[in-house]
Amino acid sequence: MTTETFSFQAEVQQVLKLVIHSLYSHKEIFLRELVSNASDACDKLRFEALQNADLYGDQPGLNIYLSADKEARTLSIRDSGIGMSRHELIENLGTVARSGTRKFLEALSEDKRGDAQLIGQFGVGFYAAFIVADKVSVTSRRAGSDEAWTWTSAEGGNTFEVSSAAADSPRGTTVTLHLRDDESEFLDDWRLRSLVHRYSEHIGFPIHMRAEKKGDDESDDAKAGSNEWETVNQASALWTKPRNELSDADYQAFYQHVSHDFGEALAWTHNRVEGNQNFTSLLYLPAKAPFDMFSGRDERKGLKLYIKRVFIMDASEQMLPNYLRFVRGVVDSDDLPLNVSRELLQSSRQVERIRGALTKRTLDLLDRLANEDKEKYDSFWQQFGNVLKEGVVEDNGNRERILKLARFPSSLSQSADDRVSLDAYIARMQPEQKAIYYVTADGWNAARRSPQIEALTQRGIEVLLLHERVDEWMAGYLHEYDGKPLRNVAKGELDADLPSAEADKGKAEQADKDAAPLIERLKHLLGDKVSGVKVSRRLVDSPACLVTGEHDMAPHMQRLLAAAGHAMPQSAPTLEINPGHPLLQRLANEADTAKADDLGWLLLEQAQLTAGAALDDAAGFVARMNRLIGA
């Protein structure tokens, strides 16, 4: 018999090290991972057999067997699933099968390497076996093939071996773990059963273990354990059970199974829909965002599509809008054709309807959470709020609902985490206040110190502080909520909006007149850097601020996009000034033109800096500053 030796791909060695060292405190998850692979393998065979029933041969059952051998100190997990060819053994177990793994390694900077929570979210898979075993062998016969192969690897080695196995090996895969000396607990029947109950109770296939020995005779038979197999899990796809037969612990265990998360789900919704579409859905909100929440838009996972209990594929992309990509769970349709393809899923009216229904279910769940458990809802928003905000842009039909779920800090907040809903904002609006006001900025401090909000906050008007990157994009779609206009206070005209503007009208006109020469001076100096200069109604303490056109992008966003290589349309902002400020008074009275010019440019540059815009001429700015300071 020939044995060939192969090297693991470099990434595999890294993953192995990481898994063994970081996950020791969660070592029992190896069983969850191996059982989950066995279950996946059964799912795959059932799926392939839809096209080719011969694949079952004379063994139609799909089963998982768990057995421990105390003498040999081995634990085996066998499944009668799809199996692996020689090539597949080498590919799947010798290289990092999923492109996500490489990204994961990159995402995991050195200081996070010990973060088991993070690694758990990623689903460590097969290599978890090495947490408890120093040698692992995998014997597999692919369904439909009469060749079987054995893959073996021992700890610490950078290699694995593949040799041919007995041709009468059963269909499917047997993973045998040679347990480390201190891992004897996993030979214990009771321990194994309790792990199956904890992690694998509701997978769709029966897990069998040797029946417990009867009697106390010392015969060899009893020592070796009974030869009878018994099913130790419920093996009923959990979602097919009625809600009242399931406990929270059942739901949580199943969540861990579908999500590979160590943590608990925050909330879930389990529904059977009957009508012109029949389907069951079980949707979970995770408590923590996975590490690739923002980078992983392209390869989404998390919602498994079943058709009449046959696993078809991960269909998160087709079944849920992008902005709900954090949802995990299962949807099981009675009506879709079993041979459904990705293309069909993309275009089918039926899928469109299910997608609409799942979206509604998820938003309902969020509503309920927001109303019933503020603390949980806040933690949801903290983790996923920025993803949900994408829905304001992408989902016209649900915009109002999503805005109802949104939470933002405001000028009344003590910190960026102290947030208010739009409904709560409206409930405490000033009596004469017509609009909901907000400002966008690049960061919390920039937002709360925005000069544009000064006049409003001085009058006791609350301003929402939209300080996250996604906010500026979303703001383009904020027009109205609950019949009230949403107004960006750093854009366009504000005067007419301001309560008590009427009363101040006379004063304002006088101020415009008085400032006319100053305004002329600044216009002349700043040229096309600004589209205009005017007396501000927004400012109280700051000397000046920038105001962009109603449909122009905020200055901080223009800077970010320009830095990312996007061509920016050059629309100059308006410079608004506060003539009462000492800097402006000094400028008005400055006889020395060179000094006046310095002051004028500094005024613009300050306004640019507070708005998060890029300075055209940073060195010029520094030189001006130094001249003024007298350095």
User: Minimum distance from CB of 357 to ligand ADP (Å)?
Assistant: 28
- Is residue 84 near ligand ADP by the rule CB under 6 A? yes
Complex with ligand ADP: residue 128 or 465, whichever CB lies closer: 128
- Is residue 92 near ligand ADP by the rule CB under 6 A? yes
Long-range contacts of 89-93 (CB under 8 A, 24+ apart): 89/138, 89/140, 89/149, 89/151, 89/162, 90/6, 90/151, 90/162, 92/126, 93/126, 93/138, 93/151, 93/160
Contacts of 610 (CB under 8 A, 6+ apart): 446, 449, 450, 451, 542, 545
- Is residue 169 near ligand ADP by the rule CB under 6 A? no
Complex with ligand ADP: residue 300 or 529, whichever CB lies closer: 300
Spacing of C-alpha 234 from chain mean position:
31
- Is residue 29 near ligand ADP by the rule CB under 6 A? no
Q: Which amino acid is it at 421?
A: S
Complex with ligand ADP: residue 37 or 536, whichever CB lies closer: 37
Which of 389, 587, 374 is CA-nearest to residue 469? Answer: 389
Q: Could you tell which of Mg ion, ligand ADP, none binds residue 378, using a CB distance below 5 to 8 A set by kind?
A: none
β-strand partners of 284: 268, 328
Complex with ligand ADP: residue 140 or 433, whichever CB lies closer: 140
User: Minimum distance from CB of 44 to ligand ADP (Å)?
Assistant: 7
Query: Which tokens belong to 498?
Result: 């301001």
Answer whether 151's CB lies under 8 Å from 39's CB.
no
Complex with ligand ADP: residue 98 or 459, whichever CB lies closer: 98
- Is residue 359 near ligand ADP by the rule CB under 6 A? no
Complex with ligand ADP: residue 91 or 514, whichever CB lies closer: 91
Q: How many helices (H) and strands (E) would you count in the chain?
A: 24, 23
Complex with Mg ion: residue 130 or 438, whichever CB lies closer: 130
Complex with ligand ADP: residue 121 or 610, whichever CB lies closer: 121
Considering CB under 6 A, how many residues would be counted as binding ligand ADP? 17
Q: Which of 19, 66, 85, 125 binds ligand ADP (CB under 6 A)?
A: 125
Complex with ligand ADP: residue 101 or 606, whichever CB lies closer: 101
User: Minimum distance from CB of 411 to Mg ion (Å)?
Assistant: 49
Answer whether 388's CB lies under 8 Å from 406's CB.
yes
Q: Which of 81, 204, 290, 573 binds ligand ADP (CB under 6 A)?
A: 81
CA-CA distance, 198 to 185, in Å (whole number)?
Answer: 16
> Which residue's CB atom is positioned nearest to ligand ADP?
125
Contacts of 91 (CB under 8 A, 6+ apart): 97
Degrees, nearest 5: CA angle 494-486-610:
60
Q: Which of 126, 279, 306, 377 binds ligand ADP (CB under 6 A)?
A: 126
Binding site for Mg ion (CB under 5 A): 37, 125
Dump strand ranges (E) for 456-614: 463-466, 480-481, 484-488, 532-535, 544-547, 574-577
Residues 422, 426, 428, 433: is their CA dihedral positive or negative? positive
- Is residue 105 near ligand ADP by the rule CB under 6 A? no
User: Minimum distance from CB of 91 to ligand ADP (Å)?
Assistant: 8
SS3 call for 338: coil
Q: Could you tell which of Mg ion, ligand ADP, none binds residue 150, using a CB distance below 5 to 8 A set by kind?
A: none
Binding span for ligand ADP by CB under 6 A among 56-64, 74-82, 113-121, 498-506? 74-82
Q: State the residue for tokens 């923002």.
A: 294
User: Minimum distance from CB of 101 to ligand ADP (Å)?
Assistant: 8
Which of 205, 176, 166 is CA-nearest to residue 77? Answer: 176
Give CA torsion, residues 401, 403, 405, 408, to 10 deg.
Answer: 180
- Is residue 176 near ligand ADP by the rule CB under 6 A? no
Binding span for ligand ADP by CB under 6 A among 77-85, 221-229, 427-435, 549-557? 77-85
- Is residue 39 near ligand ADP by the rule CB under 6 A? no
- Is residue 129 near ligand ADP by the rule CB under 6 A? no
Tell me which residues touch ligand ADP (CB under 6 A). Answer: 33, 37-38, 40-41, 79, 81-82, 84, 92-93, 97-98, 123, 125-126, 173
